Structure 1
Amino acid sequence: MQANANTEATGAAAGGRPGKGRYHHGDLRNALIRAAIELAAEGGPDAVVLRAAARKVGVSATAAYRHFDSHSDLLGAVKDHGQQRLVECMEAGGREVRGSGPEATRQRMLGLGRGYIGFARQEPGLYRTAFCRKALGGFGVTEEGAVTEAGHQPGWEARSFEMLTETLDEAVTVGLIPPERRPGAELSAWAMVHGTAMLFLDGPLDVLSEEEAGYVIERVLRDVIAGLTTP
């Protein structure tokens, strides 16, 4: 069946469709994912349709369905890519900070937040797709306020959240955040930063100049950190 799918796909791509994507024999799945990522970048998760990705690559829907059982499978692959891009942007922000200690940790927290909101503003279609469904495997909260991850799945989908929790743990270790404020802190921090990002995408913040947007981002991030670090 795999050979037939590749033969059909190769024939369709070579059959007089100028401008269609080309791919190496046997690489149709990745070609469809790349096409779907482009669709998501242009129109968000609603634009990720298996038949549309197949047309973009230049193959039949039948060939595409041999590599993905459903639209949800393709959307999941694109969502993983969106989460990976989010992690890369957060890591880029955090890498700008060197050293250790309370101030270095504070600056790393600011860097992660800037990277998070920056990704949303620069790649809104992929950002929406990264969070089009649960961004984590389910989670809950204990009586003490600590976050528990039920059904947690390893990989890029959880890495952005793990980076936040690791940095908050570091902040406690270096004495920046009082231990009693740590339980559940990732939820309030995540809600503030994610909410700000969405206000840039779907709210009144989308009309701000770059200078104004920079002020808002810095104000929100510093307020979050101030609240967590208050004795």
Structure 2
Amino acid sequence: MNRTYHHGNLREALVDAGVALARGGGPQAVVLRAVSREAGVSHNAAYRHFTGHEDLLAAVAARCTEQLGQLMISRTAAVGPDDPVPRAWARLEAIGRAYLDFARTEHGWFRTAFSGAGGHGGVKQAGPHPTDPGADPYLLLAARLDELVEVGALPADRRPGAEYAAWSAVHGLSSLLVDGPLRDLPEDEVRLAAQSVLAVVSRGL
């Protein structure tokens, strides 16, 4: 159903429309004409806020990535109180499972999040990561790894670069399950694959 734009922030309305289209159709559905139509404004109006398709897709991708981050936050918050070390490992596993679940249940958002993604600010930062990672999946992962160091579960000298290995493993499995040769894997095998990859990440750390 088309949305009619009445007032407020038109750029946000266009991004909202793009996110709605991406959920069902992935990045291919995020085009200026379709987004303008969904928002109930003229095609020309969109060009006042976006220089072109890539600019629009990047904005929508950022919002889809934020959706992933919010799921990771909620899953982390659901980890009950425990001894610091088991809790830190459980929180790391929770965000990994959230990532896999998001990919499998929100195909459109998952594909869009990475098809139009810009460079993560966290990757470029030197020194400690921000205290508040917001809903950035990279920074949320970094925070969980930092927590492992803080509770003594991960030696500090093994912390640098750990996010690259962990992220690559979970994203790789997610992609294989969504768009790759594992997309028709039976559910019990999916659970085994997830458990195996997350266990390998933990053992590697």
Query: What TM-score do the two structures reach when normalised by structure 2?
Result: 0.86
Aligned equivalent of 2:36 = 54
1:89-100 equivalent positions in 2, closer than 5 A: 89-99=71-81, 100=83
Aligned equivalent of 2:17 = 35
Q: Is the 8 A contact 2:134 2:140 kept in 1?
A: no
Distance 1:104 1:177 in 2: 13
Query: What TM-score do the two structures reach when normalised by structure 1?
Result: 0.77
User: SS at 1:206's partner residue?
Assistant: coil
Deviates more, 1:75-84 or 1:109-118: 75-84
The verdict on how the C-alpha distance between 1:95 and 1:137 changes in structure 2, with shifts beyond 3 A counting, is closer
Residues 151-209 of structure 1: CA deviation (Å, up to 9, x unaligned): x9x9867x211111111111112121122221211111111011111111121221122
Aligned equivalent of 2:103 = 120
Residues 63-96 of structure 1: CA deviation (Å, up to 9, x unaligned): 2222333223321221121111011111122112
Q: Is the 8 A contact 1:44 1:129 kept in 2?
A: yes
Distance 1:36 1:169 in 2: 34
**Structure 1, unaligned runs of 5 or more:** 1-18, 141-146
User: SS at 1:204's partner residue?
Assistant: coil
Q: 2:84 aligns with which of 101, 114, 119?
A: 101
1:142-161 equivalent positions in 2, closer than 5 A: 148=126, 159-161=136-138
Distance 1:26 1:91 in 2: 29
Matched to 2:72, the amino acid is M
How many residue pairs match? The answer is 200
2:205 is the alignment partner of 1:221: no
Distance 1:39 1:60 in 2: 17
Aligned equivalent of 1:77 = 59
Q: Shift of residue 135 of structure 1? A: 4.4
Distance 2:21 2:166 in 1: 31
**Structure 2, unaligned runs of 5 or more:** none
User: SS at 2:183's partner residue?
Assistant: helix
Distance 1:65 1:181 in 2: 47
Deviates more, 1:78-87 or 1:25-34: 25-34
The verdict on how the C-alpha distance between 1:92 and 1:211 changes in structure 2, with shifts beyond 3 A counting, is farther
Distance 1:139 1:198 in 2: 21
Q: Is the 8 A contact 1:83 1:156 kept in 2?
A: no
2:181 is the alignment partner of 1:199: no
Matched to 1:110, the amino acid is E
Residues 76-127 of structure 1: CA deviation (Å, up to 9, x unaligned): 2211211110111111221121224111111111101001111111111111
Distance 2:61 2:187 in 1: 28
Identity of aligned residues (%): 43
Matched to 2:6, the amino acid is H
Distance 2:73 2:98 in 1: 7
Root-mean-square deviation (Å):
2.4
Aligned equivalent of 1:143 = none
Select the structure with the greater relative contact order (CA < 8 A; seq sep ≥ 6).
Answer: 2
2:149 is the alignment partner of 1:172: yes
Distance 2:88 2:133 in 1: 24
